[in-house]
Structure 1
Amino acid sequence: MKKLYGTGVALVTPFKKDERIDFNGLEKLVKYVLDNEVDYLVALGTTAETATLKKEEKQDIVECIQSANYKQLPLILGVGGNNTRDIVNQINSIKNLSVFYAILSVSPYYNRPSQEGIYEHFKSIVNCTEANIIVYNVPKRTGSNVMPDTVLRLANNFKNIIGIKEASGNVLQSYKIIEKKPKNFSVISGDDFITLPVLLGGGESVISVIAQGFPDKVSQMVSLARKNQVEKAFSIFYKIIKMIDLIYEEGNPTGIKTLLNIIGICNPYVRLPLLIGSPSLKKKMLNLLKQINS
């Protein structure tokens, strides 16, 4: 299986004011990132507000993304949760599983399992499904950290566990995995702030939120880093670093949807318990965009 390199985009789910899905906005977003040289797409991740979507809505969203994906880039599908048996059933109920490059599955949240519990969770998934799995580690959201030793055990013991989206925010944790991982296992940055250190340390790619707002810049930055053109890569990063800060100031995806609305891609609406971006956030983003584009 060909490894994933470069820039992946964690797509939002655009909504209309009445909270129905805005499929026109979603098509426009997919076309926008495809036109600006991203390398793969991620559907139904955290940034897509997946926790607030019904089963039928998820299916319609995936079909819309597949239809709009005119470049036929690899598509990763988010299927995760804290009920192991339910995750297995969900993955096995997917029609045409082979059209997805991999399933992105978050470490169980709220239950706060031990490292052995996390290991057994992913072992149960890969033993019961045909899918390739990318483990998603995001301790801020799950309440537990998938430690490097656990990641390496999974990587060495199951060929279908093909990578980790590492969003602990800890560069050293990524390096500990990169140092000892099998050759065909990918370390993917799940944090826009540390994409460059992860790539320069031997990681393969990023699943990015900010890449929706600046797909051309992030794609170029990642490409430069992979060619070891460090100074040029960091010059792009420093242009957008304040905006990365801003898109998380009022939560994700509130911030990125505010930015996407400003640049004319889709509406800023989110579903409760998230709230729409404040006028003050929008003003800060507008001022910063002028600086970035000047």
Structure 2
Amino acid sequence: MGLTMTTTAPGAPVTAWADDIDQVLAGDLIAALTVTTASGDVVTVPTAPLGLRDRGQGWVSCFVPARFAGRLDQPGPIGRVALTFLSRAHGTATSDAYLLVQGHAEAGHTIAGAIHSRASELLEPALVAAFRDGWRGERRHDAIGVRVRVHRITTWSDARASGIPTTLGAAAAAAPLPQPVPSHAASGVDARNAVRRFRGHPHRLLSYAGGDGFPVTIPVRILEAGEQGIRITAPAGTLPAGDRRAGLLALSYGPRLTGLSTRHHTGWLSKHKDGTATYVPHSGYGHHLPQSKALRLLAGAKHRVLPAR
């Protein structure tokens, strides 16, 4: 699925974040990049942040596997995004925090310096070569550099995003308004099959457009699946009221980013009075790579579109 973004003008970046936040940005092995496409869908893809950030200048960067990148391989602004730091697994940070970094992004940014040694420390050797072409800015590369000019950092104290978050930078956005139900709101993917494919993927992330247009990505727990869709729950205060487009990502990965496996869906989210919500998947695809063949994802392994039923 190609990612076609709309652009907006950035404001002043957030700078001088605290050491505990910087530790997470520096040490996490994986992060999730969320964008809103031109068609209005919300899409989240895995990225390798490699600890790339600058507190003084107010930016955080990552590399996106080329197969996920779509039109990100065209240099230039890509608009409002969210970069979510969701897990300390296999990284070097020790905090339990869940970080949502929102900002304006540019694709195709060339980042050099000490990146090779950083990648060699965190990734398996085969992946290092794939990323090297991306940060050199070569025309045919396997990973796309994305730089995010930080607008807001929202931090929860644990990986479940429970409790009251703290916000650095722009004030927290107002709740987004409900969206009109589209004519194609019926599911194009069997919800039960979708949930079965989530097995072995412990990280489940829901994404939607926030009240100020920046994407929001939160961890969710799946309760059940049936003919009406996938019933989910999320930490208090994180699910917006009403109906809207949303993306759902299930993710697993191993040490040094080997064995990366994902399941992606675009669809429709409806929140209920009891605080739970139903997610109706419209489309989906996934990647699953054996531990020894993780490089295939970065080298452009084809994704498989899930059957309609």
Q: Same fold (TM over 0.5)?
A: no
Q: Which is richer in helix? A: 1
Query: What TM-score comes out, normalization by structure 1 length?
Result: 0.31
